[in-house]
Amino acid sequence: MTSSPTPSSNPSTQPFPNGTGRYAPSPSGDLHLGNLRTAILAWAMARRGGKPFYLRVEDLDRVRPGAAERQIADLAALGLDWNASPGASSETVNGREAGVLYQSTRLAAYEQAVAQLREANLVYECFCTRREIQEASSAPQGAYPGTCRELTEAQREERRAQRPPALRLRAECTSYTVQDDFYGAYTGLVDDFVLVRNDGAYAYNLTSVVDDAFVGVEQIVRGDDLLPSAPRQSYLAQLLGLAQPRYAHVPLALNTEGKRLAKRDGAVTLPQLREAGVEIPTILGWIAASIPVYNADGSAHSADVPVPNAAAILERFDPARMATEPWVVRDL
Ligand code: GLU
């Protein structure tokens, strides 16, 4: 699973903060139970304070045709609602749902951000192959060793003839600290990470930062597999002069072997579960128990009790009492 540390229980001060939120799936396939739970939490964290909540489809990479539409339909079926995102079309066009921001429509904004960084001399071309990076052992685990950082213009000219470059950030620090509502202060690695891949695609760490700031996200709620990315992203936001969001990374769903829940674990997506005769209130009952939400008498919600819709979870949702351990999904 993840190398993240164990979250402490609510290190923030009361009342638990909330803010404009978002859910930003990659349309690589149907959402599974863990993704659906994260989406509900992201929605509930924003909505409990009456804040806007946006959907963003991260469709620059790994796109499976029809997946975004299915993901959006699943979220609506659970009872989630979202605001029309700044920058989104007000009509459904070419299969792109009205009100949802699609990253494939945002290329000019990413280009502008890269131009801003270039202007500040914070970008350089990198010609390394993945193998070369793996073989350079001097850098800390997972960090780019800086091989191409100080190439001369003549050297770059020569390398360009062999291979198109990726663009990397010329980072001026090696670690950065973010505030996470579940993990507290989290310090993680910042290296010269990729902004634009060598096939020309804008990298996730760039696009998510640009888009979160563009729509005014104040609190990023997502799976804690992405916690190690938060320092890079927050640092980049600072370099671009953008507002720093808070973070609230939530534990992942695991299978009974303790591995991250995956499609091969059985019926784990909404269409699969419905096909198997499991209705939405039953699924929401499991998710309510996993959070958990609490009943009026103070008892935790039982996984056997159906919940009609996401609004019923929101009514009883208290992030200060949320489980900080992964959700182990049993018996599918
Ligand atoms: N698109 C990413 C994913 O599905 C999530 C990005 C984010 O929430 O920052 O894993």
Atom of ligand 1 nearest to the CA of 225: 10
- Decide if pLDDT at 181 tops 70: yes
Whole-number Å distance between alpha carbons of 70 and 80: 14
Ligand 1 atom closest to the CA of 58, numbered from 1: 1
Give strand pairing partners of 169: 123
140 vs 254, residue with greater confidence = 254
pLDDT of 126 higher than 90 = yes
Q: pLDDT at residue 3 above 50?
A: no
| CA dist., res. 184 & res. 201, Å (int) | 33
The ligand 1 atom at the shortest distance from the C-alpha of residue 28 is 4
Rg (CA), the chain: 21
**Ligand 1 geometric centre to CA of 26 (Å):** 6
For residue 115, count CB atoms less than 10 angstroms from its CB and return exposed for 0-12, middle for 13-18, buried for 19 or more: exposed
Of 59, 178, 208, the one to substitute when testing ligand 1's pocket (max ligand atoms within 8 A of C-beta) is 208
CB neighbourhood size of 151 (10 A): 17
Percent of the chain with pLDDT over 90: 86
Prediction pTM value = 0.93
Token pair, residue 222, equals: 């997502």
pLDDT of residue 15: 66
In this prediction, residues 51-64 reach a mean pLDDT of 96
Q: Tokens for 160?
A: 């360009």
Pocket residues: Cβ below 6 A from ligand 1: 24-26, 58, 208, 222, 226
Euclidean distance between CA atoms 309 and 313, whole angstroms: 7
Distance, in Å, from the CA atom of 292 to the CA atom of 44, rounded to the nearest integer, reads 13
pLDDT for 266 equals 86
What distance in angstroms lies between residue 263's CA and the mean position of ligand 1's atoms?
A: 17
Higher pLDDT, 235 or 17: 235
Residue with CA closest to ligand 1 atom 7 = 24
The alpha carbon of 35 and the centre of ligand 1 are apart by a number of angstroms equal to 10
Residues 6+ apart with CB under 8 A from 74: 30, 31, 36, 269, 270, 271
Decide if pLDDT at 330 tops 90.
no
* Ligand 1 center–CA 25 separation, angstroms: 5
Pocket probe for ligand 1: among 103, 207, 224, 226, the residue whose CB has the most ligand atoms within 8 Å is: 226
For residue 219, which of 33, 10, 42 has the smallest C-alpha distance?
A: 42
The CA-CA-CA angle for residues 191, 206, 68, to 5°, reads 130
- 160 versus 11: which is more confidently predicted? 160
5 pLDDT more than 80: no
* DSSP secondary structure of 314-331: HHT--GGG---S-EE---
How far, in Å, from the CA of 162 to the mean position of ligand 1?
Answer: 33
Please tell me the predicted confidence (pLDDT) of residue 1. 31
Residues 191 and 181: beta-carbon distance below 8 Å: no
Whole-angstrom distance, CA of residue 149 vs CA of residue 146: 5
Question: What one-letter code names the amino acid at 315?
Answer: E
Residues ≥6 apart with Cβ < 8 Å to 276: 267
Q: What is the mean pLDDT of residues 135-152?
A: 85
Q: Name residue 317's amino acid.
A: F
Q: What is the pLDDT of residue 199?
A: 96
Cross-strand bridge partners of residue 54: 22
Distance between Cα 24 and ligand 1 center (Å): 5
Q: Please give the pLDDT value at position 141.
A: 73
Averaged pLDDT for residues 254-279: 92
Residue 305's pLDDT is what?
Answer: 97
Give me the pLDDT at residue 331, please: 61
| For residues 76-88, average pLDDT | 98
Taking the centre of ligand 1 as the mean of its atom positions, its distance from the CA of residue 150, in whole angstroms, is 32
Ligand 1 atom nearest the C-alpha of 212 is 9
Long-range contacts, stretch 152-160, CB < 8 angstroms, 24+ apart: 156/125, 156/127, 159/125, 159/127, 160/125, 160/127
**Collapsing DSSP states into helix, strand and coil, what is residue 30?**
coil
Instruction: Return the DSSP state at 210.
Output: H
Element (H, E) at 223: strand 219-223
Could you list the beta-strand ranges (E) of 62-122: 101-102
Tell me the pLDDT tens digit for each residue of 269-285. 999 999 999 999 999 99
* Cβ partners under 8 Å of residue 64, min gap 6: 27, 28, 29
pLDDT of residue 262: 87
What value does the mean pLDDT of the chain take?
Answer: 93
